Structure 1
Amino acid sequence: MHLHSLFFEFDFATPVNVMSAIVMIVLAILTSTLTTKVKQHEAFKAESEKERMRANLLRAVSHDLRTPLTTIYSSASALADNRENLSIQQQDEILNAIKEDSEWLVSMVENLLSITKLGTGNVKINKKPVVLEELIDSVIFKFKKRYPSHDVIIDIPGDIVMIPMDAMLIEQVIINLLENAVQHATGMKHLWLSVFVIGNNAVFEIKDDGCGVSDEAMKSMFSGAYVSKASVPDGNRNNAGIGLSVCETIIKAHGGDISASNSMNKGAVFRFTLGMEEN
């Protein structure tokens, strides 16, 4: 008697072959069961990670929208209370500022809400080729509007570099990281934004020469639970981890990586990578 399969053939007339067949069947069952368990565990971990990312994003909305909302409110109040003392040009400038910040808010909210749907598997990042220099120019323009007294030292390749990305989301990441340095890097005198290309990846680096980050805080840096002990300019203490968790979610959604470390000299360094080729 013979038992045929795709891979094995056994002669059941021989006891040794019978035992071999039994062993092979048991191994096949165990392997199949183990593979199923591993896949279930990986699926559970992936779902848990997506759930954590969505929760962090929902908590992040108030953090990331506060500054432009405050600007809009202040501008609108100035226009309403002092219209008679403002020239037509000044009124137009205020209205344009309100319009720009409102457009930024709308785009930011739409993107944040889209990212929270990542767990459904139906949302894809809308990547388009973006010129690096134009991206950085837009970032610095928005950053300087919020923090006019802080200069950023820029170091990017001289050649034209194209990177596939959702530009609005990546702008948000870079601004969050720059803002994090301004608010939490006590003693900071210099702030750097560098981009360099390694292989098929663009590496973005935001570095300061402030107080750095403790080893304990580094462990929860992107969890949404990290709270800087440094006082921010307005005297309040912001939960830096919420904004950083948004950065992590956006970069992971792009298929990249993000990390934080302390510089060998002084201050903190945040790095994230983006693929140069469309996935």
Structure 2
Amino acid sequence: DAVYGVVGIVIKKDPLAMFENSILLSILGECALALENEKNAWEKQEAAVLAKNEQLRSQLLRAISHDLRTPLTSISGNASNLLSNGPSFDEATRQSLYQDIYDDAMWLINLVENLLSVTRLEEGRLNLNMSAELVDEVIKEALNHVDRKCTEHILTERCEDELLLAKMDAKLIVQVVINLVNNAIKYTEPGSHISVEAKQEGKWAVISVADDGPGVPDENKEKLFEMFYSGANRIVDSRRSLGLGLSLCKSIVNAHGGTISIHDNDPHGAVFTFTLPVEEVQLTG
């Protein structure tokens, strides 16, 4: 009931015999059936992509509406308190309210940065500004910007070679380390140990973020790097997240040609490890 194409047959003086005509119609029928199947498969694939995009949009809207409401409510409530009752508060109370407003604002900024970076990476619009960078310095820079709740944990940093160079976009790798450390802070109890280590293995710089928290169940390990996935292992009072952080980390590391993975820590906890290509030092004399 549809036209999929037009076939031209060169016939000389004599018309096709009935048998030849039947064979020709059978061949054309098979071709039409193959084209119809291909069209149906393409439409099915397109519908699946549209459904997935719609599902992602719905998840994003639900997550944003939930995640933005909490810090915005806190910011507006604290600001209203300061405006109405500021003079009657003692200095310690005012400083506490200021700190809460600052923390919530910084959390929102980090959320938006992650969201924008994921969007650019998914659309292929994020240009990497690659250069040789000292891994130790990049890690130290990242640790200067992690969640202030890190003071409730024992955070250590160690680089086997302080002169270890890797080829990277430093700004994006700082974001990867921040996300991994903040993830460890979020999913471990206060007082837990979090360590950031870097070393060279062959042509790769290997950076790992380890904690001694409850760890990640094996069935959840593969899902951790999916967009919008948030683990079920939540500490009470820990703010729910969009689930963009680890997905973004994977996209950034893959864009650098490296890999990112998770494995269990001993005796308990999780270790996130990612790799970057080592940059050799060129000495001129």
TM-score interval for Structure 1 and Structure 2 normalised by the shorter chain:
0.5 to 0.7
Of 151-160 and 100-109, more deviation after overlay is shown by 100-109
Match of 2:163 among 160, 165, 168: 160
Q: Does residue 1:209 correspond to 2:212, yes or no?
A: yes
C-alpha separation between the residues in 2 aligned to 1:227 and 1:197?
31
1:192-233: CA deviations, max 9, x gaps?
111111122211101111211111111212113643332324
Q: Which deviates further from its counterpart, 198-207 or 222-231?
A: 222-231
Q: For 1:7-86, what aligned pairs fall within 5 Å after superposition?
A: 59=60, 62=64, 80=83, 84=87
Paired position in structure 2 for 1:193: 196
Report the alpha carbon displacement of residue 132 of structure 1 after superposing the two structures with TM.
2.6
Identity of aligned residues (%): 35
After superposition, residues 127-146 of structure 1 pair within 5 angstroms as: 127-143=130-146, 145-146=148-149
Gaps of 5+ in 1: 1-43
Query: RMSD across aligned C-alpha pairs, in angstroms?
Result: 4.3
TM superposition shift of 1:140: 1.9
**Which structure is larger by alpha-carbon Rg, 1 or 2?**
2
Residue pair 2:134, 2:164 contacting (<8 A) in 1 also = yes
Residue pair 1:189, 1:209 contacting (<8 A) in 2 also? yes
Amino acid at match of 2:154: D
SS in 2 for 1:126: coil
- The separation in 1 between residues aligned to 2:104 and 2:146, in whole angstroms, is 12
Q: Give the Cα separation in 2 of the matches to 1:75 and 1:218.
A: 38
TM-score, scaled to structure 2: 0.58
Within the alignment, does 1:265 sit opposite 2:271 as a pair?
Answer: no
**Is the alpha carbon distance of 1:125 and 1:108 closer, same or farther for their aligned partners in structure 2, counting shifts above 3 Å?**
farther
How far does residue 152 in structure 1 lie from its aligned partner after superposition?
0.8
Partner secondary structure for residue 206 of structure 2? strand
| Consecutive unaligned residues in structure 2, runs of 5 or more | 1-44, 281-285
Aligned length: 221
Alignment of 1:252 with 2:254, yes or no, is yes
Question: TM-score normalized by structure 1?
Answer: 0.60
Q: How far did residue 267 of structure 1 move?
A: 1.1
Whether the 8 Å contact between 1:184 and 1:228 is mirrored in structure 2 is no
When structure 1 is superposed on structure 2, of 201-210 and 159-168 the one drifting more is 159-168
Counterpart residue type for residue 245 of structure 2:
G
